[in-house]
Chains A and B, each alone.
Chain A
Amino acid sequence: MKKKIYFTLFSFVFLFPIFFLLPQSFAWNWRWPQMVPDTFQLRAWNALFQEPRLIEALLVTILIGIVVVVVNLVLGFLSGKGLSHHQFKGKTIIEMILMAPILVPSLAIALGLHVTFIKIGLANHWLGVVLVHLVPTLPYTIRIFRSGYDRLGKRILEQGMTLGVSKWKIFCSIELPLLLPTIRSAVMLTFIISLSQYALTAIIGGGTVVTLAMIYYPFFQSSNPTVLASFSFVFFLLPILFLLLFEVGVKLLKKWAG
C-alpha cells in the first residue's frame, strides 16, 4: 500500500512534468484556467520543423555529442584503469587535477579560452566546441570508469595474462563486456551534458556552431509556449534514441565478434 503511494508520488513529481509536455505541445490555444485545452492540433510541431536551422542544428548537436562521447570513452578507459589498478607516487595530485573541473566554474574556463581559441582557429568551429564540452564531462567519465575498474578488480585481467592472451584480446573479451554498464552510464551522462550546454557553446561556437541549445534559448524568450513544448520533448527523446542506437550497436558488435 505504502509502496503504491510512494510510486504515485514519485511519478507525479518526476515523470508527470515531462510527459505533460506532450499534451502541451498539441494544445495551441491553451488558456488559463482551462484544465484541458479546447483542441489538439499539430501546429506547434509544424512551426518547430519550419525553423530553417532545426535539422542542421540537430545534426550538429548529434555530431558534437558523438565525438565528445567517443573522446570521453577513450580517456575514461585509460585513466579509469590507471587510477584504479595502479598505485604510484603523486596519485593524489593527479586525482585532484582530474577532478578540478567539477569545482572550477566552466564559464570561467570558457571565457579564459575564448581569445586563445580565436587565435588558433578553434573558435567558431565544432572542434573547439567539442574541446570545451570535455570540461564538464571528462571528470564524471573518469569517476565512472574508475569505480567500474574498481569493481572489475585486477585479478581477472591477470588471469588472462597468465594464460598468455594478448592485451587487446583481454580488452575485447574481458574489459569491454564486463564494463558494459559502466560504458552505458558514461555514454548517457556525457551525451546529455553535451546536449545541455548553452553558455560554453555560445562563447566558443560564437554563433557559427549552431546546436539545438542555440535555437532553444531565443525560442524561450520569444516563441509560443506550445512550440517550446514540442522542442522540449525533442530534447527528452534525443538521449533515449541515442541509448537505443547504442544498444543496437552493442548487439551488432556482439554478433560480429561471435
Chain B
Amino acid sequence: MKLFNQSNSFRLTVFLLPSVAITLLLTGYGILYALSNSLQNDGIGAYASVVGHTMFQSSLVFSLKVTSISTGVSLLLGILVAKIIYSYFKTSSLKLVIWVPMLIPHFVAAYLVLILLSQSGLFSSAFFHLGIISDRMQFPILVFDQAGVGIIVTYVWKSIPFVVLMLLPVFYEIDRRFVQVVQTLGGGQFEVFKMVEWPWLFPVLIEVGLILFAFIIAAFEVPYLLGVTDPKMISVLAYQWFYTGDWSFRSMSMALMILLTLFILLFSVVIFQITKKRRFIMMKGRM
C-alpha cells in the first residue's frame, strides 16, 4: 500500500509540478517582485502617492464603470444569444457564426469599432443616407469618447461569444423534464427560465462574470488604442507611469498594479463568499 502511494505521488509530481512551477515562477515571482519594487523607493509612500493622485481617482472610477457595464451587458446578451442558439440552432452548424469574433485579437476588434462607429464611419454614412443626420458631426461621438463607449462596445462584442461558449453546454445539460413540469403547471417562458434554467446557469455565470471582470478591469490593449487622455483605464496609466523614466513613477506604477491585483482578488473572494450558499445548494440539487 505504501509503495502504491509513493508511486502515485511520484506520478502526480510529474503531472503537476511543471505547471505549478511555471505558474509560481512567473505569476508568483512577478507579483512579489512588483510588490518589493513598489516599496523600494519610498516605502509605503508610493501607495499614498498613487491614492492621492488625481489621475488615479478618475482612472479608478472610469475603469470600474467601463468594466461593470461591459461585464453586465456581455453576460445579459450572452444568456440571450445562448438561449436563442439552444432553441433554434441546436443541431445546426449555422451557430458557428457566433464563434468567429473569437478568431481575431482584441486590438483588431477595436479597429472594427473605429471604422464602423466613428463619426466618419460606415454607420454614420448610412445614417446620412437614411436622412437621420445631415452632417457627420451630428453623429454621436462613440469612439475616443469620455464615457468609454467604444471600449465597452469592443469588449461586449468580443465577450459575447465567450459567454455563449461557456453557457451553451449548461443549456444542453438541463434536464428538460423540469421544463415540462413547469409548463404542465401553467408556467410560461419566464417561469421556465426562472425556475429551471437560471439555477443551472447561475454558478457558471458567476464564474464567467469574474473572469470577464478581472480581464477587462486590467485590460490594456483596447483602451490604449480607443481611450482618451483623461480618464485612462488603470493599466494604461500604470504602463505610462512605468515608462516615464522617473524612478518614483516606476514605484507608483508597480504600486498601482499591486492595488489592482489586491482589488480583483478581494472582489473575487467576496463574490464567491456571497454566492457560496446559493451555488452550493444548486450544485447539490444537480446530483
Using an 8 Å CB-CB cutoff, how does the interface string of B117-128 with A read, 1 for contact, 0 for none? 001101011101
Q: Within the assembled complex, what's the spacing in Å between the Cα atoms of A169 and B126?
A: 61
A14 and B97 contact, Cβ closer than 8 Å, known pairs A20-B112, A78-B15, A78-B19: yes
A191 to chain B, nearest CB (A): 10
Q: Mark B1-44, 1 if CB is under 8 A from A, else 0.
A: 00000001101101110111011101111111111010000000
Question: Given contacts A33-B136, A232-B111, is CB(A113)–CB(B20) below 8 Å?
Answer: no
Q: From residue B200, how far is it (CB to closest CB) to chain A in Å?
A: 17
A69 at the interface (CB under 8 A from B): no
Q: Is B202 an interface residue (CB 8 A)?
A: no
B112 adjacent to A35 (CB under 8 Å):
no
In the bound complex, do residue B257 and residue A105 qualify as a contact, i.e. CB atoms below 8 Å apart?
yes
Instruction: Report the Cα distance A7→B94, complex, angstroms.
Output: 7
Task: Determine whether the beta carbon of A111 is less than 8 Å from that of B97.
Answer: no
Tell me the minimal C-beta distance from A23 to chain B in angstroms: 10
Asked whether A18 lies within 8 Å of B100 as measured between CB atoms, the reply is yes
| Partner pick for B102 among A74, A109, A116, A192, CB 8 A cutoff | A192
Check if A111 sits within 8 Å of B136, measured CB to CB: no
Across the interface, name the chain B residue whose C-beta is closest to A88.
B12
Contact with B along A121-161 (1 / 0, CB 8 A): 00000000001101100110010000000000000000000
**Residue contact A235 to B105, C-beta cutoff 8 Å:** yes
What is the minimal beta-carbon distance from B159 to any residue of chain A, in angstroms?
12
Q: CB distance A112 to B115 under 8 Å?
A: no
Contact yes or no, A18 B30, CB < 8 A: no
Contact of B264 among A13, A105, A192, A236 (CB under 8 A): A105
Q: Are A107 and B125 in contact (CB under 8 A)?
A: no
Name the residue of chain B whose CB is nearest to the CB of A12.
B97
A20 pairs with B115, CB closer than 8 A: yes
Q: How far is the CA of A235 from the CA of B16 in the complex (A)?
A: 34
Among B8, B210, B238, find the residue whose CB has the most chain A CB atoms closer than 10 A. B238
Which of B46-54, B175-183, B189-197, B217-225 contacts the other chain?
A: B217-225
Complex interface: chain B residues within 8 A of A213 (CB):
105, 107
> Which residue from chain A places its CB closest to the CB of B116 in the assembled complex?
A17
The DSSP consensus for interface residues of chain B is: helix
Most buried by B among A18, A105, A109, A213: A105
Give complex CA distance A10, B27 in Å: 38
How many angstroms between the C-alpha atoms of A110 and B254 in the bound complex? 11
Q: Which of A10, A97, A109 contacts B98 (CB 8 A)?
A: A10
Contacts of A182 in B (CB 8 A): none
Chain B contacts for A104, CB-based, 8 A: 27, 31, 261, 264-265
Residue of B nearest to A232 (CB): B108
A109 CA to B28 CA, complexed, in Å: 8
Residues of A within 8 A of B18 (CB): 74-75, 78-79
Pick the interface stretch among A39-47, A52-60, A195-203, A245-253. Answer: A195-203
B103 within 8 A of A: yes
C-alpha gap A225/B111 in the complex (Å): 9
Q: Which of A186-238 contact B (CB under 8 A)?
A: 192, 195-196, 198-199, 213, 216-217, 220, 225, 228-229, 232, 235-236
Contacts of B225 in A (CB 8 A): 217, 220
Q: Are B26 and A109 in contact (CB under 8 A)?
A: yes
A100 CB–B CB distance under 8 Å: yes
Q: Is A11 an interface residue (CB 8 A)?
A: yes
A68–B179 CA distance with the chains assembled, in angstroms: 44
Residue of chain B at shortest CB distance from A36: B125
B61 within 8 A of A: no
Determine if A15 and B100 form an interchain contact, defined as CB atoms under 8 angstroms apart. yes
Asked if B104 and A101 make an inter-chain contact with CB atoms under 8 angstroms apart, the answer reads: no
User: Is A3 part of the binding interface, using a Cβ–Cβ cutoff of 8 Å?
Assistant: yes
- Chain B's closest residue to A77 (CB) is B15
Report if B260 contacts A (CB, 8 A): yes
Residue picked from A7, A10, A35, A102, most chain B C-beta under 10 Å: A10
Taking a contact as CB atoms under 8 Å apart, the answer to whether B261 and A138 are in contact is: no
Contact of B23 among A11, A32, A33, A101 (CB under 8 A): A101
A229 to B114, CA, bound (A): 11
Q: Do B211 and A112 have beta carbons less than 8 Å apart?
A: no
The complex places the Cα of A94 from the Cα of B17 at a distance, in Å, of: 10
A248 to B23, CA, bound (A): 32
Closest beta carbon of chain A to B39's beta carbon, Å: 13
Question: Which listed residue, A2, A115, A240, touches B37 by the CB 8 Å rule?
Answer: A115
Supposing A33-B128, A112-B37 touch, asked if A102 and B235 sit within 8 A by C-beta, the answer is: no
Question: Is B174 located at the chain interface by the 8 A CB criterion?
Answer: no
A199/B220 in contact, CB under 8 A: yes
Q: Which residues of A pack against B, CB within 8 Å?
A: 2-3, 6-7, 10-11, 13-15, 17-18, 20-21, 24, 32-35, 74-75, 78-79, 81-83, 86, 88, 94, 97-98, 100-113, 115-116, 131-132, 134-135, 138-139, 142, 192, 195-196, 198-199, 213, 216-217, 220, 225, 228-229, 232, 235-236, 239-240
Q: What are some 11 contacts across the A-B interface (CB < 8 A)?
A: A3-B89, A14-B101, A78-B16, A94-B20, A97-B24, A100-B23, A102-B214, A112-B32, A192-B104, A196-B106, A217-B107
